[in-house]
Structure 1
Amino acid sequence: MTKKFNESFSVFSFFSGGGFLDLGFESEEFDVVFANEIHTPFLEAYSHSRDILGIREPKYGLSNVDITSLRGDRGLAEAVKMEENLKKVIGFIGGPPCPDFSVGGKNRGRSGENGRLSETYVDLIINGKPHFFLFENVKGLYRTKKHREFFEHLKDKLCQFYYLSERVVNALEYGVPQDRERIILVGFRRDCFEETKFGWGERLYPDRSGFQYDWPDVTPFYPRKLVPRPDHLPLGLTVQYWFDRNDVKNHPNSKHHFKPRAGLPRFKTICEGDDKKKSYKRLHRWRYSPTAAYGNNEVHLHPYKARRLSAAEALAIQSLPKEYEFPADMGLSNMFKCIGNGVPYLAAKGLAASIKLHIIENYQTNLQQFNEFSTSSAA
């Protein structure tokens, strides 16, 4: 019997949150065998969503210890070794917390608590020696001069052992209804891979830009009024398409939204599609959403209802499968923080597909086990 892909690729996940990134990799037949998330409500959401989706718990369990305690951890090292002995291709994936590199966040850089976690993750990669890794963070780590030096320092540590490729990707490129840029760094072990260019989805996603269309501008706020969809727009990049696709009105998290103690009259004065303000942003039903960031002063309003987005609607904007849901007793703040921190599902799926194709074509150890899959996956 030939091997299936999910019997050949083993992924160790860090900063796992609600598991959006992991779901993307699992959809491309990677087997998530370990997940670590320090924030207990997020880990509970991770476990709950997989129960609903029928995905088994990772082989080596769910961990909520501080990631710094995993450096030199014998249990993690033994798990990696066991997967190596099974001839698996092993990957580490994760997005360290980003407020210390965000212009809109704390902006403390490498000296901040979250900034230090980025280096901890890099040390875990170097010590664990996975065959490949993925590192995700806000674009400020890449584009802000203050933080770029630290990013180059991390790359200098990694490039001794890995071929590296980096890019600022936008979720729109992968069919997500959201203008969300993030820096992605991927690496492939020098002793296992040829040094060839990594494809960022060009072969898999040839028509990638959503910005070239003439998107609708702001219109007056009309509660529940039907606004016809312009025929020239890609439906899959619009908020309303995903609301319908995920049946958000009947979703288990449809009632989970913040109710204003004050400010309701102001909600009604903001035009549909007026999302350029720093705080109150009303989405347009026939346009993509701004970055799903729901902390601090970010208030995202429903396109044609006088309220904030529900958790069900925010999950749809992150392109999650409609079956994904949070536990009913999870607090609203944790729900929206978990959503805002997560990698959009379709972006995660697209990145995983590109990594899988790169492995198939360039992995040099036991390559014969992948040859039979190369033609179908490249197609």
Structure 2
Amino acid sequence: MKVFSFFSGSGFLDLGFETNGFDVAFVNEYDSEFMRAYQYARQNMGIEPPEYGYYRGDVNAFLTDAEKRDELSRNIEAARARGELVGFIGGPPCPDFSIAGKNRGREGDNGKLSLSYVNLIVERKPDFFLFENVKGLWSTKRHKAFFEELKNMVHAAGYSTAERLTNALEYGAPQDRDRVLFFGIKNELLGKNHMGNELIDFPWLRYQIYTMEEINAYPWPENQDFVEGGTRPVPDGIPEELTVQYWFERNHVETHPNAQHHFVPRAGLAKMQLYQEGDVSKKCYKRLHRWRYSPTAAYGNNEVHLHPYHARRLSAAEALAIQSLPEKFVLPSDMTLTAMFKTIGNGVPYMLSSGVARTIHDYLDEMVIGQ
């Protein structure tokens, strides 16, 4: 199963597919620093470069540039000639659909890229695709209308689809992060299993570890006074694997190559000592609780996450752990802090991408290959 990846960032979504039976054969990313981080991380993890290489540039080139269109078509057909299924995966930039973002929707520069991705799917006709985006694409009325238009486009092009609003916590990532997942497959591949344009039997829940009802019912600890370097025992009755501290320890964040990469706020030490451990009620400064999960991992100017028991901001190593990435995933040491935290914040939590990739792999095995 070959995957062509678009809007790849540093490849958190791709890694879930790479480690669950897919071959990421082509990578497209616009940002040069994100692309460099993608390549650096794979080299560090011993993952082979993609068969059809990397393209750093605008995804629209595959719609408007004859040379790029032909090259993409040749590569897709070369894979199919070997009897391989070909899929597209990608999460177009989402600030224009984010409730906390620009909210320009389909008219924004980023919003337009969602249409570009769907146009690419309709034109190149991969055997299957995954489109992921923020909750706002579903929960805001005018953005939802745009999403329905995109869905109608792929239905008209001969695809059946399934969609779901999924939280990363459900798959075991220590982070409260909602993502819209939209999967499609060619009707012709379903054969006798094709029954309308909605895949009502798509097994979204197969690798889900928790439900949000279960997560919300656990006795999570209340806020506690901040103590520099302090220790606290694990509370009874909570799933430790959903906590910040569990992932800090699992990834050995204190000795990780990105351990020293963190911002130093201008307000300094005094301000950071004011916030209780677990106080995430403020719009900007939020101090995580070691024995709870993190709010969504966005680390721009409007979302400063403080370490649970040190008077500083989170390091890149700690942020990568909260994104549930493997310990061996490392960003280049000479990458700017701004680029590091932007690419971390933009990425899909690895436990989520891994669970979804396994689900898609099983579905293709059972519904297509197994026919």
Category of TM-score, reference length = shorter chain:
over 0.9
| Structure 2 contact 169–210 (Cα < 8 Å) conserved | no
Shift of 1:248: 0.2
Where does residue 75 of structure 2 map in the other structure?
79
Where does residue 68 of structure 1 map in the other structure?
60
Superposition map of 1:307-346 within 5 A: 307-346=312-351
Whole-Å separation in 2 of the counterparts to 1:80 and 1:340: 31
Residue 153 in structure 1 maps to residue 153 in structure 2: no
Superposition map of 1:6-17 within 5 A: 9-17=1-9
Which of residues 118, 128, 132 in structure 1 aligns to 2:124?
128
| Structure 1 contact 201–350 (Cα < 8 Å) conserved | no
| Structure 2 contact 168–352 (Cα < 8 Å) conserved | yes
Shift of 1:127: 1.1
Partner of 1:335, secondary structure, is helix
Partner of 2:60, secondary structure, is helix
Residue 302 in structure 1 maps to residue 294 in structure 2: no
Whole-Å separation in 2 of the counterparts to 1:228 and 1:96: 41
CA gap 1:206/1:282 in 2 versus in 1, 3 angstroms: closer
| Structure 2 contact 244–292 (Cα < 8 Å) conserved | yes
Shift of 1:343: 0.5
Which of residues 265, 277, 288 in structure 1 aligns to 2:270?
265
Whole-Å separation in 2 of the counterparts to 1:223 and 1:98: 37
Where does residue 205 of structure 1 map in the other structure?
208
Partner of 2:189, secondary structure, is coil
Shift of 1:310: 0.2
Where does residue 182 of structure 1 map in the other structure?
179
Superposition map of 1:335-374 within 5 A: 335-363=340-368, 367=369
Shift of 1:357: 1.0
Whole-Å separation in 1 of the counterparts to 2:347 and 2:111: 17
Where does residue 27 of structure 1 map in the other structure?
19
Which of residues 136, 148, 166 in structure 1 aligns to 2:163?
166
Whole-Å separation in 2 of the counterparts to 1:297 and 1:307: 16
Return the letter of the residue paired with 2:19.
S
Shift of 1:263: 4.1
Partner of 2:320, secondary structure, is helix
Whole-Å separation in 1 of the counterparts to 2:241 and 2:305: 20
| Structure 1 contact 102–141 (Cα < 8 Å) conserved | yes
Partner of 2:37, secondary structure, is helix
Whole-Å separation in 2 of the counterparts to 1:203 and 1:289: 24
Shift of 1:197: 2.8
The C-alpha deviation readout for 1:66-93, integer Å capped at 9, x for no partner, is 1111115111111111111111111100
Return the letter of the residue paired with 2:200.
K
Give % identity: 53
In the alignment, structure 2 segments of 5+ residues that lack a partner are none
In the alignment, structure 1 segments of 5+ residues that lack a partner are 1-8, 372-379
Partner of 2:165, secondary structure, is strand
Aligned pair count reads: 358
Shift of 1:198: 4.2
Whole-Å separation in 2 of the counterparts to 1:124 and 1:105: 25
Superposed structure 1 runs of 4+ greater than 6 Å apart: none
Return the letter of the residue paired with 2:207.
L
| Structure 1 contact 11–93 (Cα < 8 Å) conserved | yes
Return the letter of the residue paired with 2:334.
D
Where does residue 241 of structure 2 map in the other structure?
236
Whole-Å separation in 1 of the counterparts to 2:265 and 2:9: 27
Whole-Å separation in 2 of the counterparts to 1:179 and 1:270: 20
Return the letter of the residue paired with 1:324.
F
Whole-Å separation in 2 of the counterparts to 1:36 and 1:188: 21
Return the letter of the residue paired with 1:319.
S
| Structure 1 contact 95–135 (Cα < 8 Å) conserved | yes
Partner of 2:47, secondary structure, is coil
Shift of 1:277: 1.2
| Structure 2 contact 134–179 (Cα < 8 Å) conserved | yes
Residue 224 in structure 1 maps to residue 229 in structure 2: yes
Return the letter of the residue paired with 2:360.
I
Where does residue 275 of structure 1 map in the other structure?
280
Where does residue 98 of structure 2 map in the other structure?
102
TM-score relative to the length of structure 1: 0.92
Residue 44 in structure 1 maps to residue 36 in structure 2: yes
Return the letter of the residue paired with 1:45.
A
CA gap 1:45/1:271 in 2 versus in 1, 3 angstroms: same
Where does residue 87 of structure 2 map in the other structure?
91
Whole-Å separation in 1 of the counterparts to 2:32 and 2:83: 33
Return the letter of the residue paired with 2:329.
Y
| Structure 1 contact 200–351 (Cα < 8 Å) conserved | no
| Structure 1 contact 198–358 (Cα < 8 Å) conserved | no
Where does residue 55 of structure 1 map in the other structure?
47
